[in-house]
Structure 1
Amino acid sequence: MDRFRQPAQAIVAGFGAAVATGTALLSLPAATESGQRAAFLDALFTATSAVCVTGLVTVDTGGHWSLFGELVILGLIQVGGLGIMTMATLVAVLLSRRLGLRARMVAQAETKALRAADLRRVLRNVVLFSLIGEIAVAVVLTARFALAYGDPFGRAVYHGVFHSVAAFNNAGFALWPDSLVRFVGDPWIVMPICLAVIVGGLGFPVVFELARSWRRPRGWSVLTRVTLGVTAALLVGGTLVLTAAEWNNPATFGRLDPPDRWLAGFTAAVMPRSGGFNSVDVGQMRAESWLITDVLMFIGGGSAGTAGGIKVTTFGLLAFVIWAEMRGEKHVNVGHRRLPEATQRQAVAIALMGVGLVVAATFTLMALTAHGLDRVLFEVTSAFGIVGLSTGITADLPPAGRILLIVLMFAGRTGPLTVATALALRERVRRYQLPEERPIVG
């Protein structure tokens, strides 16, 4: 049978089944604090946001959902995060091998393994990587909640585990209605969460390569070089620009001491990677800060990780393509490696498809609501980039607007991976060439 001939179908079906299960569980009376059934659209929106590790919400997570409901959300976040990392990493392993890709995919469907040893090793490493990271951050958060804020040990553990899992999986769900605003100046809360967002967003292949050969950077792959380079540039640049833009804004950074302003600026630069937490009121930020955040959300994080967006790898490779074209070079080189033309076309296709989807969704949502372009574009980009940041209009959207965001979150989670996989697997060698003609460009 050919049901796994296209891995995209399996990825979409798996996430669709998880969303359906989560919606059913959150629709139970036991899932809400009031004991009443949640509205179907709220349950569907929350389940999609959790499985797609986004963080956009139409109701207050800590106030609306019961303990059972919060545990369902936590489980959906873990399933969504582990699921995407496992699927993305397995696809990366498949596509990195040049021997019979199609045959390997079909064989996996029949035998339930790529190679038994390879599959077990990949799955084990992904799970261990996730669990160790989550436990380490949870320990720090638990200690801080218990010692500095006087939370009972049980509550401190629960808060620590919940926000650690949400951060490492780049989900952005918080149990407080103001997210992390109350902890804006507390580095023992904010920094572990930021670190979890960064590490989870790098992608398993990059982290695993760093663990193996961090002392030999000259031997790093193009993926690792580009991911680390672009990530560092975006974090530094984002911190400087956002801190400068908000420095004197009394509604955000202006009320803070200088060290806390820099901490808030760093947090504001990290969270658009798909983290989704906020330590200041996003709705009170300046329009120029929203625009910079839009750009960061659209780019997203690393490939084969929990972050969304078009990926820093795509953005970085396109920058190398532009640089090579400006210099008049025939080939695109990254370090000591030449970039295949097929990879260049895939990067262009993913970026342009992302732009088209965001523009179309922005136009549609503006037609459905009375909100201005800046707020609507922010909301749409946040949904597409599975970030979870919002200027505060999510709960006010009409049903059609919420459904649009649901579609965007699902497309933003499954789309880049499935499109990249489909493009890579459709690559074929043409046995003839047509006559060349150069049209006018520009």
Structure 2
Amino acid sequence: MGTPARTPARARVRRPRPARRVVAAFAIAVALGTAVLMLPVSSRSGEVTDFFDALFTATSAVCVTGLTVVDTATHWSFFGQVIILALIQIGGLGIMISAASIGLLLARKLSVAGRLNAVTEANVIEFSDVRGLARNILLISLIVEAATALLLFMRFLWGYGYGVGEAVWLGLFHAVSSFNNAGFALFSDNLIGFAADPFICLPICAAIIVGGLGFPVLMQLRREFRHPLRWTMNTRLVLSVSIVLLIAGTLYITVLEWSNPRTLGHYDPAARILIGFFQSVQTRTAGFNSVDIGQLHDETWVGMDVLMYIGGGPAGTAGGIKVTTFAVLFFILLTELRGEASVHIFGKRLSRAVHRQAISVVLLSIAFVMASVIALMLITDLPFDKVLFEAVSAFGTVGLTTGITYGLPWPAELILSLLMFVGRLGPLTIGTAFALRDRRILYEFPEERPAIG
């Protein structure tokens, strides 16, 4: 007699892991972007771009970071810049959300697998909301990008004398880069040449702020802008913390750099305030710079490290640990200091599962950043403050740099590329995707409390 067949009860059932599909989709997008950017047609010189430079650029674009190892304005041809713009748009909206949007446009339906993938990538959206999510994300993105592109087009055309075609391209590229919090610019000095021009800086800031709020917040504001009492805890946290951080960042940067002759010192007072506000907005994960970041005071770098690490709103184009994670940890701390039993925010009790998620995100992100800093310091001879700034900028998908990126060896480029990838997808998504086992525990161990603090 043969060996008896394994019964269904003993067979293992493999459950799908959408997190793995999301990670794989981003990795495939980076790989395809790298391959295309390496083509001779993508470079202005007509030569093949170095693999590591192409990989770094593709990763930076897909992860909407903005860090560069070659000059976007002079190295890449028009075709290469179009590819970068496409990677920014796809990466900013999200690979799975982009696929869902295309599927709805072409077939007017979305498969269950597509919904699961989109839910996993969006993180905070319910399964039933996916169809409306894809449509609304696409609509909001196009409206904001079109409005920003129009304002920038008019300024480039009438204020700086660019031709119509060039003004259209400059307006479109910087509008998409702004809304997706990418920070790629088509000028060799980024936006330093427009530091005192509010007609360039303010539309870009507005697009960055809107994109950084997160799509769930934007969709709720679109439906219930006049009914704040109906806003969810997520919407209230994102808006309130974002406003506080924008104001605090503006004051911090402006005050510290007010008399620095290498940054704000040689501008008039109005321009100094504009630049301080502009750079505060950029720390929300955008990455444009209207002054030389390498010339800022060390104390300013530290403050910007904190702002970049926090980032923007969840389920959007921003990076960092997200303002909601920061707010949740603050309220957990406040509750513990008060000796209360549960955390309450805006009259609602916070789920204990959120406590664990917030702590996990912070600990994992610190581990990724510090491991990268140590590795970069072992590879290079750069000082700690600059390496830390670069690592936090990469993890937060910000793109601000003190100027050290251009001279990094290829191992350091790989480390920053990995950090950008982790920062864009989030440490929890990465951890879930590569978890060895996914099982439910049917029992509990005895409870005991160690001494803390």
Same fold (TM over 0.5): yes
Q: 2:447 aligns with which of 416, 436, 439?
A: 436
Give the CA deviation at 1:433. Answer: 4.3
Deviation string 1:326-364 (CA, Å, 9 cap, x unpaired) is 111100001111001111110000011111111111111
Aligned pairs for 1:49-68 (under 5 A) are: 49-68=60-79
- Cα distance in 2 for residues equivalent to 1:189 and 1:110: 38
Counterpart for residue 237 of structure 1: 248
- Cα distance in 1 for residues equivalent to 2:117 and 2:351: 31
Q: Which runs of 4+ in 1 moved over 4 A?
A: 1-4, 87-90, 109-118, 419-423, 426-433
Q: 2:180 aligns with which of 152, 169, 175?
A: 169
- Cα distance in 2 for residues equivalent to 1:14 and 1:285: 38
Distance 1:248 1:333, change over 3 A: same
Tell me the amino acid that sits aligned with residue 182 of structure 2: A
- Cα distance in 2 for residues equivalent to 1:88 and 1:347: 29
Aligned pairs for 1:245-284 (under 5 A) are: 245-284=256-295
- Cα distance in 1 for residues equivalent to 2:239 and 2:31: 36
Contact kept in structure 1, 2:212 and 2:284, CA below 8 Å: yes
Deviation string 1:359-417 (CA, Å, 9 cap, x unpaired) is 11111101111110110000000111111000000011111111111111111111346
Counterpart for residue 157 of structure 2: 146
Tell me the amino acid that sits aligned with residue 61 of structure 2: A
Counterpart for residue 113 of structure 2: 108
Counterpart for residue 107 of structure 2: none
Q: 2:216 aligns with which of 205, 221, 243?
A: 205
- Cα distance in 2 for residues equivalent to 1:219 and 1:191: 30
The answer to whether 1:75 aligns with 2:86 is yes
Contact kept in structure 2, 1:2 and 1:106, CA below 8 Å: no
Give the CA deviation at 1:6. Answer: 1.4
- Cα distance in 1 for residues equivalent to 2:283 and 2:254: 14
- Cα distance in 2 for residues equivalent to 1:263 and 1:89: 39
Distance 1:213 1:31, change over 3 A: same
Q: Cα RMSD (Å) of the superposition? A: 2.6
Aligned pairs for 1:329-368 (under 5 A) are: 329-368=340-379
Deviation string 1:121-150 (CA, Å, 9 cap, x unpaired) is 221111011111100000000000001101
- TM-score by length of structure 1 reads 0.91
Tell me the amino acid that sits aligned with residue 288 of structure 1: E
Contact kept in structure 2, 1:7 and 1:421, CA below 8 Å: no
Give the CA deviation at 1:7. Answer: 1.6
Q: 1:8 aligns with which of 19, 32, 37?
A: 19
Distance 1:259 1:29, change over 3 A: same
- Cα distance in 2 for residues equivalent to 1:228 and 1:59: 36
Counterpart for residue 180 of structure 1: 191
Give the CA deviation at 1:166. Answer: 0.4
- Cα distance in 1 for residues equivalent to 2:13 and 2:180: 32
Contact kept in structure 1, 2:97 and 2:118, CA below 8 Å: no
Counterpart for residue 141 of structure 2: 130
The answer to whether 1:31 aligns with 2:42 is yes
Give the CA deviation at 1:109. Answer: 5.6
- Cα distance in 1 for residues equivalent to 2:442 and 2:14: 29
Give the CA deviation at 1:229. Answer: 1.1
Deviation string 1:133-183 (CA, Å, 9 cap, x unpaired) is 100000000000001101111100000000000000001000111111010
- Cα distance in 2 for residues equivalent to 1:137 and 1:333: 38
Give the CA deviation at 1:108. Answer: 2.9
Distance 1:196 1:150, change over 3 A: same
Distance 1:182 1:349, change over 3 A: same
Contact kept in structure 2, 1:30 and 1:66, CA below 8 Å: yes
Q: 1:43 aligns with which of 38, 51, 54?
A: 54
SS across alignment from 1:253: coil
Distance 1:2 1:280, change over 3 A: farther
Contact kept in structure 2, 1:268 and 1:278, CA below 8 Å: yes
Give the CA deviation at 1:34. Answer: 0.6
Contact kept in structure 1, 2:115 and 2:127, CA below 8 Å: no
Deviation string 1:40-97 (CA, Å, 9 cap, x unpaired) is 111111111101101000000010000010001011111111126838999xxxxxxx
Structure 1 stretch 213-222 or stretch 133-142: which is displaced more? 213-222
SS across alignment from 2:141: helix
% identity of equivalent residues: 52
Give the CA deviation at 1:222. Answer: 0.7
- Cα distance in 2 for residues equivalent to 1:113 and 1:269: 31
Query: Where in structure 1 are there 5+ consecutive unaligned residues?
Result: 91-104
SS across alignment from 2:426: helix
Tell me the amino acid that sits aligned with residue 226 of structure 1: L
Contact kept in structure 2, 1:382 and 1:388, CA below 8 Å: yes
Tell me the amino acid that sits aligned with residue 8 of structure 1: A
Query: Where in structure 2 are there 5+ consecutive unaligned residues?
Result: 1-11, 102-109, 120-125
